[in-house]
Copies of this chain bind each other. A is one copy, B any other.
Amino acid sequence: MSRHADPASPSAGSSRGPTGPAPALPAGFLTATAAAAIKKPGRDDMALLRCPGGAALAAVYTTNRVCAAPLVLDRRHLREGGGRCRAILVNSGCANAATGPAGMQDAEAIVAEVARGCGIPPVEVQVNSTGVIGVRLPLERMLPQIAPMSRRASGGTIESFARAIMTTDTYPKWSSRMVESGGRRATVVGCVKGAGMIHPNMATMIGVIMTDAALSPGELDGHLRAAVERSFHRISIDGDTSTNDSVFALASGAAGGEFPADALRRAFIEVARDLALMIVRDGEGFERGIHVRVTGARTDADALTIARTIASSLLVRCAVTGADPNWGRILAAAGRAGVPIEAELLDLTVGGVCFFRHGAPAETPLAEREAVFRRPMVEVTLDLGQGQGSDEFISCGLTTAYVELNSDYTT
Contacts and interface: CB of A to CB of B under 8 A. Distances in A.
A403 interface: yes
Interface stretch (A32-40, A216-224, A234-242, A260-268): A234-242
Contacts of A325: 410-411
Contact of A332 (B99, B242, B339): B242
Given A238-B314, A241-B336, A98 B329 contact: no
Contacts of A341: 65-66
Interface stretch (A53-61, A169-177, A178-186, A316-324): A316-324
Total copies of this chain within the assembly: 2
A100 B322 contact: no
Nearest to A69: B343
Contacts of A344: 100
Contacts of A359: 98, 100-101
B335 A65 contact: yes
A169 B242 CA distance: 35
A93 interface: no
Contacts of A99: 360-361
A275 interface: no
A398 interface: yes
Contact of A328 (B134, B343, B361): B134
B335 A67 contact: yes
Interface in A57-76: 63-67
Interface residues of A, number: 73
Contact of A322 (B132, B201, B407): B407
A329 B326 CA distance: 31
B102 A411 contact: no
Given A98-B356, A102-B360, A240-B333, A399 B409 contact: no
Most-contacted residue by chain B among A97, A241, A361 (CB, 10 A): A361
Nearest to A66: B335
A406 B133 contact: no
A45 to B, nearest CB: 18
A408 B340 CA distance: 30
A210 B64 CA distance: 45
Nearest to A316: B240
A404 B400 contact: yes
Nearest to A63: B336
Interface in A287-326: 312-315, 318-319, 321-322, 324-326
Interface string A223-266: 00000000000000011111100000000000000000000000
Contacts of A410: 324-326
A101 B326 contact: no
Nearest to A355: B134
B335 A64 contact: yes
A13 interface: no
Contact of A324 (B329, B361, B370, B408): B408
A114 interface: no
Contacts of A87: none
A64 B238 contact: no
A332 B403 contact: no
Most-contacted residue by chain B among A196, A342, A343, A402 (CB, 10 A): A343
A37 B321 CA distance: 29
The 7 A-B residue pairs with the shortest CB-CB distance, nearest first, are A133-B328, A100-B360, A322-B407, A66-B335, A318-B406, A400-B400, A241-B336
Given A65-B334, A98-B359, A318-B402, 16 more contacts: A66-B335, A133-B327, A196-B315, A197-B315, A238-B314, A239-B314, A240-B332, A240-B336, A241-B332, A318-B407, A319-B407, A321-B403, A322-B411, A324-B407, A400-B400, A400-B404
24 contacts: A64-B336, A65-B335, A65-B337, A65-B340, A66-B331, A66-B334, A66-B341, A98-B331, A100-B360, A100-B361, A132-B328, A133-B326, A134-B361, A197-B315, A240-B313, A240-B314, A240-B315, A240-B332, A241-B335, A314-B406, A318-B407, A322-B407, A324-B409, A325-B411
